[in-house]
Structure 1
Amino acid sequence: MLRSFRQVFKSNRTPMAAVMIVVLLGLVAYLAPSGRVDTPDTVVARVYGREVLLRDMSEHMQELYQRFGKQGNPEALKPFIQSQALRDLMNQKLMEELADRHGVVVTDEEVGARLRAFLRQYPVLLDPQGNLKSTAELKQIFQETGFNPALQERNLRNELLRTKLIQQAALQVPVDEPWLAVEHRLRNEKVGFQQATLAVDAAVVADPGDAALEAIYKAGSQRFLQPPRRVIQFVTVDRAALGKAAETDEAALKAAFEARKSDYIEFKARHILFKAEGDAQMQEATAKAQLLRERLVKGQDFGKAAEELSEDPSAKGNGGDLGWFNAARMVKPFSDAAAALKPGEISQPVRTQYGVHLIKLEGRREKRFDDVKAQLAQEVSDGRFNTRAQERLEQIRKRANGGDLAAAAKSLGSQAQLSQPFANEPGAQSEGLPELPQLAGEAFRLKVGEVSKPQRIGDRHLIFRVQEELPEAVPPFKEVRAKVLAAYRLEEARKQTLAKAQQALQSGGLQAVGPISDQAAAPLNGLRDLVAHPSIRKALLETPVGQTTPLLWTQDGKLWVARITSREPAPALTFESRRGLIQEVQTTEAQKLLSAELQALDQQGRQRPGFSSFWGHFSGIYVNASAVQVPVEE
């Protein structure tokens, strides 16, 4: 076959060469990073060949904004939302890759059945016979309520995929009799005990001096092995650096006030609601509202009518009074209708997603410029500060052109600084860079020599360049003296605490160790913090009533001891309860196995981030750092 192919190629050299050139150009276009402006189809990440697009990330960010709520400043919340959205979507792609490797498939029929079951939970989507309404009716309701069926379908598919992976893994978990017996006891045997804890105070241990610490350092240098660390060069811009550039003047504040004048108009109104769903009900509700309006215009009391007829539960007891509100608090058709009324007027029937309303405007008030001047000054000043700071950092970034930031920063009146070496771990710190915990992850995602985008963290804006990476190593003693001292103090303090507790138990019993707390008889499985520790779990299960457990260390570093006061054995397992317990144990372990597999797959993929290589498109994890700043619709 190979010989035949060669003959064909030789006899058709020109056409085949043209084909190969087209293929190669296509591969180059596909593999090479694009210089175009980001679009909804821009790839923000690629996980084992599965693409996360800008549109996917933007949609998920909107979902997260709704879930967490736009509390405070959305811009301050944006870095967290963006990071969470990217993490969620990449994790989902990892799960899809894992499902492929395990041969797990979710069919469209399964997803469709789940989606229909989900929609049937809502009466508004059902016809009088209890079936889902027509596609046209459902589409209209979805548009009015903002419900996204495609998003719900995706979530249900993801849920099904995870469930199937867990079910498959559960079948591979062998639960033997000793394991089953322990799990049964943890869930059903009731144990009562008294417990005492003793905290460790390492601060009371004196510094033994360099000689002693160096001996500890040399004897166990691998204890102080540090992972790869990075140094970043960073430039910050705060308000002081900009001087008067962020200040506001009276003219700017008045212009901002005029531009947002509608935001400062408030209305006081009452309303009557006739609930309706679909065209037929809307028409019926509109007719009822029109008839009622005629009576109200002739003098019928609006408040009493609201008490008697409104289908808004909040109208009962207050005559449909909505209090003072601005346009942003209401749906647009309602606020537009209220804004068009004069005090005392009653609107024509107003259709919204909730039904049909009659609105009586009782008052209108408008905040004056002086009332909001301080708030406007802060907002305008913040806006100017953000704009000017971003502009300066972007200029520095362009002037540096991927190189050292120092000269570019100096030319624009700023200063570049170097961080102390730090690892990619929670709580990373560097003097003069309090923002480091929020930057460390990105600093390790970028390549050495790459420059970040300008970003705001806290009260200032910054950019940074990855200066260098230090390999995994044991630093010189002077660099880790503080860690050696901390390790020595903790070890000595634990020895002293253990000796003190042993002596206390011998001389005065449990109460001599520390304050005693009583734990009423209950299944141990409810005491998750304790039974998560294997030695404590074993002690609580095996120590006889009336006796004291061994002294043990808790996960938070305290010394713990208990005296068993009562024990009520678990009832015997039946066939059904035994089967249910096995399934529960298998599912729990399967979830752990799935998490471990996903983590391993993630770590393996991040070792091959080669977006520019053919291999990297299908067997690695790539994050497009230049495109992760996703615009969020407000």
Structure 2
Amino acid sequence: MFDAVRNNKRIVQVFLALITLPFAFWGVDSYVRNVGAGSDVAVVGDSKITIQEFNQAWRDHLDRARQQLGPNYKAELFDTPQARMELVNTLIDRRLLALEARKARLNVSDALLVEFITSFPSLKENGKFSKARYDALVASQGMSKEMFEAQLRQDMILQQLVGAVGDTGIVSASSAEMMLRIQSEERQVAELRLLPEQFAGEVKLDADAAKKYYEENQKLFQTPEMVRPEYVVLSLDALLAQATVSEAEVKQWYDGHKDRYQQNEERRASHILIGTGGDADKAKAKAKADEVLAEVRKAPAKFAELARQHSQDPGSAANGGDLGFFGRGMMVKPFEEATFALKDGEVSDVVQSDFGYHIIKLTGIKPAKQKALDEVRAEIEGELKRQAAQRRYVEAAEAFTNMVYEQSDSLKPVAEKFGLKIQQGPMLPRNPPAQALAALGPLGNERLLASLFAEDAVKNQRNTDAVEVAQNTLAAARVVEHKPAAVRPFDSVRADIEAMLKAKEAAALARSRGEAMLAAMKGGDDKTKWALVKSVSRLQGKQVPPAALQAIFRADVATLPAYAGVELPNNGGYALYKIVAVKPLEKVDADRRRVLQSEYTALVAQEDFAAYLSGLRQRAKIEINQAALESKER
């Protein structure tokens, strides 16, 4: 079954992305229950998703966003109720799939897990698997190898299930050919556009039209309530920059944690692999391995040459069987035990594993050693500074929170106490557009922004409460300038209203004239001077507006010329088209058909998976603990 996953990687990727879709796809209201703040964020059947699981997933989510966006990362854009709800539903989807995989008794063998890990391009150095890179990857996830590999195994099991569902998405070659012909058909058209400007002279506005529109649409001319804040931010990063550690502290830490800086023994080996299939093949493979071993025993110096000649491991055969250095836990158990039992330069007997039969030659040993203090000094200093900053932040956060509340008429005392800069914000509306939030920094946080418009903050210019705008980051603000909402005076918008009404009326006249002309043309009365003929297709339709392209290909072309017309958006007028020729696809390109077949198969499979996942949700009893999700104790 796992072959289906490897052979349909694109489909699997689509599915895995799909299970992260917002929960609104299925409807939140039918699942959310205020079941009280407890230790579980959600219940899926008899399975529970704990707050601890959610918190770890949330930290991972923010870390991934931080790594992907770098300096453009804005925590306040990610730390929203909607984002938390989406994450809960991703966890629910994964739990549903995991439960189904368990029912189906799906599993991933150790051999397959090792094959997957060692095949990762980013974990290779000079074409060979790098244990150092693997260790760094695991460390960056904040997990032990056992935890990381268990999580990876679970992900691979889920991919088996996803791949099985994906196999149901089938689009035949004939269907793909039909779609390719539809997409590639060309229609040659002439165009005539009736623009609103052509009818501007015919527009007559009533004297009171602008005033009437103004009075009936007051909300369109209202300036929003605005505040200009100042604010301070207390963050772990700021405290980390201030942290210092002494040489004595570094030495003490090193002496007390030497086991952390122990470099374990690594061994370098080359191997010749003879793969196996069925039971009959195993006997042949074993006999072949014995023959090759006999050749190796006769000429040990020719091991690399024999590996290139006989080994069936595509990853190492071309390199003479060389696997590079690796430590314990990186190879399947029989291979590892045999390798670590050899002496340098020694060749093993035939070793059997899930991959087949191996002949192993040990080519190098890196003995275990203790890293010197100077090698790990920077790492230790960083660790001690993080610990010191974290301790200080825990203490400072409470003092910061109390101080902005108790001395609420100014941010100056709290800024002086913690060495913070009072920053000036711009004039802000209550609900800034989403695209503007990224530039607001901490002020883009929904809770902090809402606090600035509270009555006490506006009328009395009191500090807001301290708000956690990101992990390990608190902010407080106060209003220094306030502008209430107001309707703009009529005289300031009169010219704009009149221009808009005239443009709208001119566009209506263009549409009316165009529709009349289209009816006449379809009746055989075509005296129009058309523009040059252009060729359009569903794949190459940039020469005409999207709405026009649809109208052109909806037109009945049984008899030519045929005509189509369409109103252009945004008061753009009306466009008429004369279809003078239809050019079908003459020859179907087999490669294009296969590509299209693959793309449509992925789309069909995506729909199948969405239906499958929706069915799992409908059959399962799902409850989301809204109180636990919103709790500050989370």
- Length-normalised TM-score, structure 1: 0.45
TM-score in terms of structure 2 length? 0.45
